[in-house]
Amino acid sequence: MNRLKAGGLKTMRAVYRSRLLFGTAVLIFATGASYACGDFLEGAPQGALDETTLANAAGVEATLIAAYRTLDWANAVGGGAQSAAASNWSWGSVTSDDAYKGTEASDAPEITDLELYNWRTGAVESLLNDKWRNTYEGVVRSNATIKLLNQVVEANPNEISQENQDRIRGEALFLRAYYHFEAYRMWGNIPYYTEADTTFRKSNQGVDALALIEADLDQAISLLPASQSQVGRATAWTARAYKGKVQVYDENWSGAISTLSQVVNQGPYALEQDFSRVWTGYESYSNGPETVFAYQASSNDGEPNGNNANYGERLNFPHSGSPFGCCGFHQPTQNLVNFFSVDDSGLPLALTDPNWNARDDKLDAAASADMLLDPRLDWTVGRDGVPYKDWGNHEAGWIRAPAFGGPYSPKKTAYESASGAMSNVGWVNTQLSSMNMHLLRFADVMLLLAEAEVEGGNFQNARPLVNEIRRRAGVAAQGPNGGPLAVPIDDLSITWADYRIGEYSGADWTDQTFARTAVRYERRLELAMEGERFFDLRRWGIAASVLNSYIAVEQNRRAFLAAATTYADRHNLYPIPPIQIELSKVEGQETLVQNTGW
């Protein structure tokens, strides 16, 4: 399982980079990039690697490590941190009601176009192309691993043990499924590539991507061990958890219940003791019981620019008045902050009060001193007068342009000062750290199971799952500046809120409609700013109603939102990058077909 201690993919990347396989890793990155760049369709056939260098057990392992590397922005692929971040902050948060682009209007205006649903601009097309390249780079590297493994085994059957053959093949199949699932969530209609493909101009029409993803995950489950000796590698449990998520997206409720119940009840995972350990730079809590799959960030490992750190998040810190120095992107919305209000029983105020979103101005420590709030607000959002982990109180001077991006800062992906996670190198090195990026965590798995139970008609089965997550949320709150990072939610040192968390009773949980709403609200509260919100709204079929209503109110708080395009059916899938459609032509005929409305 992923909880295993020292070593892991962080160490593996550093070793491969600094010793014999330095050249191998560079070769793999360069070879993979020839497929996933804008002209990847003109590249050499997949798997055409330097067999002299790679045709051995070490070469196969290095190829596999290169496939993991694409989980976050990789400098060999190109593109910006915003388009290829592991967290999907631009694609899954900024396009939702969770986050603004942030910073100021003149900085990265292409993300503002994305936020405003103006997806036909050339700037957004460039972002989409970077995401496409990054995603299919991962597919190429996964398939290259399988193909090279086959070549090595055929040439020398004793080079790699059967146990390691199964493990490597299982990991590569899992990663191939993971990257295709990322593409599916973005574009829906996607081509699916395997190691047997000799052409890379495949059609995206008539492809049952979810069935192919699930088939790869089933094979991965059958091949992978239940645990791994190195942190971060996929296991059978990792693949099973992702299979359940895919089944939820496919609305295969009975299948999802079966799969996810096994993960929740028999798997190696558990909720962290308190929320302070979920998103953390402390190595002792890294890859804890809640980690199902994470990008294994690495800092101070010999890479001179800090590129192996959590590079995809490097823009998402308080600006120059703060200890981080830059850059103020991915700022929480007023709508999100308001959503953390609770009623007297500690349940979401939005369940019963239609005016839950009435507050238009900054919720700082003074304004919230007597307010009833979910304590997860202050693990998620940096707000004035409230401790920002262990960096001191968040201050107004930490915000770059409050009239544009609002008064709040992202908080989950900020490491702690005392954690030792900060990179010593790189542009604005204070933004780079070895803090892992959750790609799937156990709370998400539990909520996916709760959703499947509700949609499958067993809505009462969902209540204990939601209550367990809420119970954990009530264990600890952000502690005071100079005190413990986490304290009980009723600690007298807390002067900026009256934290309260309640659990749902059977009398509350009266019918499927209420249960559905409660589960969906819990997903927002628990997973806020984690890149899931937009994809959730789309798959629930409520994106248009929620987001158009959000813009109608929020534009009165942030004037730039008045320029937003009305969210329509076409926005339920991102447009396929036009350059990829152009490059897909065979004898003048496009094999990639653009999504409807674009």
Could you tell me the sign of the dihedral formed by the alpha carbons of 487, 491, 492, 496, in that order?
Answer: positive
Q: Which domain holds residue 584?
A: 9-83+116-227+558-598
CA–CA gap between residue 261 and residue 244 (Å, rounded): 9
pLDDT of residue 7: 37
pLDDT of residue 53: 80
Place of tokens 């609305």: 251
| The pLDDT of residue 46 is above 60 | no
pLDDT of residue 433: 96
Full 3-state SS string of 205-271: CCCCHHHHHHHHHHHHHHHCCCCCCCCCCCCHHHHHHHHHHHHHHCCCHHHHHHHHHHHHHHCCCCC
Would residue 34 count as lying in a domain?
A: yes
Residue 512: Cβ-neighbour burial (10 angstroms; 0-12, 13-18, 19+): middle
Would residue 276 count as lying in a domain?
A: no
| The pLDDT of residue 30 is above 50 | no
| The pLDDT of residue 357 is above 60 | yes
Would residue 582 count as lying in a domain?
A: yes
Mean pLDDT, the chain, as a whole number? 91
pLDDT of residue 50: 58
Mean pLDDT lowest among 9-18, 162-171, 174-183: 9-18
Would residue 72 count as lying in a domain?
A: yes
**Confidence tier at 157 by pLDDT (50, 70, 90):** very high
Would residue 182 count as lying in a domain?
A: yes
pLDDT tens, residue by residue, 191-205 = 999 999 988 899 999
Q: What average pLDDT does the segment 472-495 reach?
A: 96
CA–CA gap between residue 19 and residue 343 (Å, rounded): 58
CA–CA gap between residue 127 and residue 131 (Å, rounded): 6
Strands 329-332, 409-410: pairing kind: unpaired
Degrees, nearest 5: CA angle 128-32-242 = 65
Which CATH number covers residue 584? 1.25.40.890
409 membership: H or E segment, kind and range? strand 409-410
Q: What average pLDDT does the segment 210-234 reach?
A: 97
Number of domains in the chain: 1
| The pLDDT of residue 119 is above 90 | yes
| The pLDDT of residue 571 is above 90 | yes
pLDDT of residue 578: 97
Strands, E assignment, 423-579: 437-441, 477-478, 486-487, 498-499
Cβ–Cβ < 8 Å for 408, 386: no
Nearest Cα residue to 400 out of 114, 105, 116: 105
| The pLDDT of residue 51 is above 90 | no
CA–CA gap between residue 590 and residue 399 (Å, rounded): 46
Q: What average pLDDT does the segment 418-428 reach?
A: 95
Would residue 340 count as lying in a domain?
A: no
Task: Answer whether 0.85 is exceeded by the pTM.
Answer: yes
| The pLDDT of residue 19 is above 60 | no
**Confidence tier at 76 by pLDDT (50, 70, 90):** low
Would residue 214 count as lying in a domain?
A: yes
pLDDT tens, residue by residue, 361-383 = 999 999 999 999 999 999 999 99
Torsion of CA 231, 233, 239, 245, to 10 degrees: 70
Higher pLDDT, 161 or 15: 161
Residues 6+ apart with CB under 8 A from 257: 449, 452, 453, 456, 458
| The pLDDT of residue 593 is above 70 | yes
Would residue 588 count as lying in a domain?
A: yes
Place of tokens 């496009």: 590
Higher pLDDT, 133 or 24: 133
Q: Which two tokens stand for residue 400?
A: 């770059």
pLDDT tens, residue by residue, 290-346 = 999 999 999 999 999 999 999 999 999 999 999 999 999 999 999 999 999 999 999
